[in-house]
Amino acid sequence: MPTFIVLLGPPGVGKGTQAELIAEATGLPHISSGDLFRENIKNTTELGKLAQAYMNKGELVPDDVTISMIRSRLSRPDCKEGALLDGFPRTTVQADSLANLLTEFNGKVNFVPYITASESTLIERLSGRWTCKAQGHIFHEKHNPPHKPGVCDFDASELYQRDDDKAETVKRRIQVYLTQTAPLITYYRQLGLLSEIDGTQPIEKVTEALMAVLGKIA
Ligand code: AMP
């Protein structure tokens, strides 16, 4: 049976950073819907053009478009053993679709670690975040700085600040999270899959807590 993990939590809580570490430890592919959209924007695809309009405003890309993008990503052979989903699902419609989709792959959502932090922590984290142009590796100028400012430790590409990490858009993204994504907390709790993790701890502690939740597969 494949293993599917849904990493849940507000924007800026550290999902991307943790997903990279957990993917490395478990060997599961890290699938970030935001990264997939950004890749499409970089390659100026039709999907990228459509997504950009929503992303720049901090709004969600429509469900049908997002679901079909994830469906095609999960159909790739590297997801045979499962995947680590970061940023998807973000609505209950997406969560229902994911459940249906995974039955096609003889799988289901196995774990939902939910990483938490206060709103002021999220704003501070997002405004200090630097992202690598080549592969989306994530740094923070204070909490997780690169060895050389402005340069990715992993592939030496340039670091940039995402447009949607600017103050006004950040506030909207948090609002969108609270109204559209937070209902997933109850959704997955009712299914007995949710494990809450304090995201204000140092990065290594959050990873340890995550690995403890995923203990059965790591
Ligand atoms: P992220 O990198 O996860 O913070 O996502 C950046 C932006 O991409 C979000 O603010 C949305 O505009 C869009 N996005 C990412 N994942 C989804 C999703 N599952 N559903 C709708 N929009 C998404």
Domains and CATH numbers, the chain: 3-117+180-213 (3.40.50.300)
| Per-residue pLDDT tens digits for 154-176 | 999 999 999 899 888 999 999 99
pLDDT (tens digit per residue) in 62-98:
999 999 999 999 999 999 999 999 999 999 999 999 9
Look over the chain and give the mean of its residue pLDDT values, rounded to a whole number: 94
Helix (H) or strand (E) holding 113, with range, is strand 109-116
Protein residue with its CA nearest to atom 2 in ligand 1:
34
Q: How many CA atoms lie within 13 A of 160 on its CB side?
A: 10
pLDDT of residue 206: 96
pLDDT given for residue 217 in this prediction: 53
Q: How far is CA 160 from CA 24, 68, 82, 116, 149, in A?
A: 24, 28, 31, 25, 11
Write down the pLDDT at residue 168: 84
Q: Is 10 in the pocket of ligand 1 (CB under 6 A)?
A: no
pTM: 0.93
How would you classify residue 201: left for phi > 0, otherwise alpha for psi between -120 and 50, otherwise beta? beta
Ligand 1 centre to CA of 55 (Å) is 7
